[in-house]
Structure 1
Amino acid sequence: MDLKEYLETSAAQVDAALDGFLPSAKQRPAKIHEAMRYSLFAGGKRLRPVLALAAAEACGGEIELAMPAACAVELMHTYSLVHDDLPCMDDDDLRRGRPTCHKVFGEGMAVLTGDALLTEAFLILSETAPTARYPLSAFIAEFAITGGSTKLIGGQVLDLEGEGRELKKAELVRIHEAKTAALLTSSLRLGAMSANATPAKLDAVTDFGYHLGLAFQVIDDILDVTQTTEVLGKTAGKDEAVAKATYPAILGLDKARKEAARLTKKAMESLEPLGGKGSRLREIAAYLLDREY
């Protein structure tokens, strides 16, 4: 199938799996389960779980075996968005074209929704089948490190500390190594691990994820200043309004676009050990470079 069909089909498979994993919206206490589902099924692209599934296939695995890890990653991602949108963080009213969780359910419930999504993510991940090279503890450690104080949370700390300051490019890269790149990389690694990837293949998808994650963030920063709120599904121009360091602000738009292309090229080159089986990942990288939202 072509890339568009692949992305749509994979996202639909992930949605079906997520629906099965999550408690019903009517299960008591109903409000928290309603809020979890509201945030999770708000129309996201499912990029991270799709990358996990694509990495599994590229390493000779099956999407069914990668699905628990893929779904766990999407819950971690959604939790991070719910918390990032809070008034004490990035303070945003829109996410994926809808009012953010705290605008609908209140700040306290939004905090608990993020907590519940992250906790549920570990429960889902626990259903991953161990492989010859990777016991279940390896999956859990990979996931916990990605979401912890040295990666996702640490990156958010650096992001908050950087607001209103003139950061150097190296400081900005460090923020997004810990945030965007870390979660994208872990998505790919978990998918590859579910396929019992060789060390060489795991290294390849790791390098791919690092460069793809940074490229993704550069494009995200560019879109924030070039697209509308309606197109993005979130408040456009927000970074500039709060004096947040971004790639266009530091490099300028033209150099930022060149940086995204450079990083994407590096990502594609990283897939050489996968041979032809890395073609789908290459297609996704090219698609993300040219995305408009």
Structure 2
Amino acid sequence: MLILAMAWILSLETRAQKVKIKPEAPQPTKGQGLFKTEKYDLLTLAMHEVYEHYNQAQDYFKKQNYDLAGASLRVMEFYLSGTKNILPGQITVWEKDKAAKTITLDKAKYIATVDRLNHYSQQVQAGLAKGQWLQAGGNQPDPMMETCVGCHLSNQVPTDFHRDTDFKILTKLMHEIYYHYRDAGPLLQQERWDQALDLFVVLDPYLEQIPNHIPAVNQDQQPIDKALFLQAHQELTRFTHDMVEKLRTRSWQQGKPLPPPRIVVDNCYACHDKVVKIPSPW
């Protein structure tokens, strides 16, 4: 049942090819369909997940929630390690009012950087049990920020960390949840239960923020049905917590199978279609 359910959610790629995207909506890279398949697109997504979950880990540490701080760091490592296989040889960078430039990436140097960052994460996790966060020595910058900023500067890749409007924040929150569900699917198929659990268990901060960032209108100035949105949000929150409980207790071993993921897919599609009235990016 679980394998069939996950196969169903992964089959969305075929269905998504029929979706039409408005000209003003975010467009996929030319020639790749509605799913990101270009290495640079995948690398960008993964590295921003790395940055996101490192920050989440620090927030959990400040709140003395060391278990979730550790889970966030493991999720960071999951995305970080996966980037080794999707590093493109070259990238082309476009900036407003500037000519496009092609940059060659040093894969060996990049992999060495990834390994150092993973090692730092392991050291931080070792200290969490004692309520400690490993600090860089002396006046050295934070290893994560040094890696992010240094990589962007050395490769002349511009950054944009601005998220100001409720609509942008909401989009970011919902897509974080989607990415985690999407990436947990293959892990469940491979019976990598603990890694799947990490992806689900760190979703609460995103779920909790959603009710505070539901705008009155979407990007096309069409009204958003807040009551309907909150209803979908409550269903998704309950489903996520149910997934976490079943993965923690291994309840499927007691004849209680994991619930099918249809509710998540239905929520994503229905919300885009009926609530926020914008095309889905799949």
Q: TM-score w.r.t. structure 1 length?
A: 0.35
Which one has a larger percent helix, Structure 1 or Structure 2? 1
Q: State TM-score, norm by structure 2.
A: 0.36
